[in-house]
Amino acid sequence: MEKQGLTILLAAPRGFCAGVDRAIQIVELALAKYGAPVYVRHEIVHNRYVVEGLRAKGAVFVDELDEIPDDGCPVIFSAHGVPKTVPEAARERAMFFIDATCPLVSKVHREAERHFKNGRQLVLIGHKGHPEVVGTMGQLPPGAVILIETAADVQALEVADADNLAYCTQTTLSVDDTASVVEALKRRFPAIEGPHKEDICYATTNRQAAVKAIAQKCEALIVIGAPNSSNSNRLVEVARNHGCGKAMLVQRAAEIDWTWFEGVRTLGLTAGASAPDALIDEVIEAARERFALVLKEVRIIDENVTFKVPGVLAA
Ligand code: 0K2
Ligand code: SF4
């Protein structure tokens, strides 16, 4: 039987960002330099395939430092950043730790500290309980940061001094939703200080813009990423909000129910910042087995950001 035709519009940029690339390199270089085990606090990035791959090479993933024995082996903090209490506890135990926090997350940490030093109350826009939010809030003493998630939360805000406020954001939020939260903040507190727009990083911004560029042309769209990956979930929302109602998050090709795509002639495909190319290729190959495939990349911008690994691991 002849295969049904399917065009895949491949969003670009997609997949790994510079911070994820650096974080994974840090674990790999530490394994090569010091041997196994290398401990990693939290998933180095939110992707099971990446985590399993590193585990197979000798990385040991833990939720908290108290699960790690005092054996002198390196301890790596994940790309999402950690509260100040984590390096403090590591220092107290004389652990050899290497921080894989993305430099763009660390930049937000420093902004938060600067506002606090200048006596401003800090409002953080982010998702409650996400490790990056826990890390950013943990740069300041308990109670110093008020977390909000939506524009509706702005109305309920109770602040000590409306003229002495600042805001920061999580790096992986929806660009559009965050713009409306920032607008609500500025409307209610005209003197509030903050970044030029928000702290959403280049990779999050570009991946969302690339989805917007294809969403209307696609009858369905697949985002490759993990359920706990903030930036990946935002890509599904962006697709749905920009004309592609049939958008779904998948971790691996094996999860895809291809009957879902009956009658679909144009499928959008992208991947979150923590999803490796191997998983994108896997989905393309699975589609090729079932359809007469035409692959078209739609690139909206070239990325050339790279981050150096910490000096202790540099060649
Ligand atoms: O998007 P998330 O912050 O949930 O994290 P990952 O899916 O691991 O992507 C990497 C971003 C890490 C920090 O911004
Ligand atoms: Fe850094 Fe952005 Fe990648 Fe997060 S998504 S690791 S902030 S570059």
Average pLDDT over residues 22-36: 98
Whether residue 303 lies in the annotated active site: no
**Looking at the domain covering 104-199, what would its CATH class be?**
alpha beta
3-state DSSP call for residue 195? coil
Average pLDDT over residues 19-45: 98
- Nearest alpha-carbon partner for 222 in 271, 172, 259: 271
Average pLDDT over residues 242-269: 96
Judged against a pLDDT cut of 90, whether residue 144 lies above it is answered with yes
Interval between CA 17 and ligand 1 midpoint (Å)? 10
Ranges in the chain annotated CATH 3.40.1010.20? 4-16+202-299, 104-199
What pLDDT band is residue 269 in, cutting at 50, 70 and 90? Answer: very high
Distances (CA, A) of 204 to 26, 132, 161, 170, 297: 21, 14, 32, 11, 18
Distance of CA 298 to the CA centre of its chain: 22
What pLDDT band is residue 291 in, cutting at 50, 70 and 90? Answer: very high
Ranges in the chain annotated CATH 3.40.50.11270? 18-102
Judged against a pLDDT cut of 90, whether residue 262 lies above it is answered with no
Average pLDDT over residues 34-41: 98
309 Cβ contact partners less than 8 Å away, ≥ 6 residues apart? 22, 25, 26, 29
Quote the pTM value.
0.98
Q: What is the CA radius of gyration of the chain?
A: 21
CATH fold for domain 4-16+202-299: Cobalt-precorrin-4 Transmethylase; domain 1 (3.40.1010)
Measuring from each residue's beta carbon to the nearest atom of ligand 2, which residues come in under 6 Å?
Answer: 17-20, 79, 102, 104-105, 171-172, 201, 203-204, 231, 273
d(CA 94, CA 83): 18
Q: Which CATH number fits domain 18-102: 3.40.50.11270, 2.40.30.110, 3.40.640.10, 1.10.1740.10?
A: 3.40.50.11270
Which two tokens mark 58? 């000798």
Helix count and strand count (H, E) for the chain: 10, 12
What pLDDT band is residue 161 in, cutting at 50, 70 and 90? Answer: very high
Average pLDDT over residues 259-287: 97
- Pinpoint the alpha helices (H) of the chain: 18-34, 48-56, 85-92, 103-117, 131-137, 151-156, 175-188, 202-215, 230-241, 277-290
Nearest atom, ligand 2, residue 172 CA: 5
Judged against a pLDDT cut of 90, whether residue 315 lies above it is answered with no
What pLDDT band is residue 68 in, cutting at 50, 70 and 90? Answer: very high
Among the bound ligands, the one closest to the CA of 127: 1
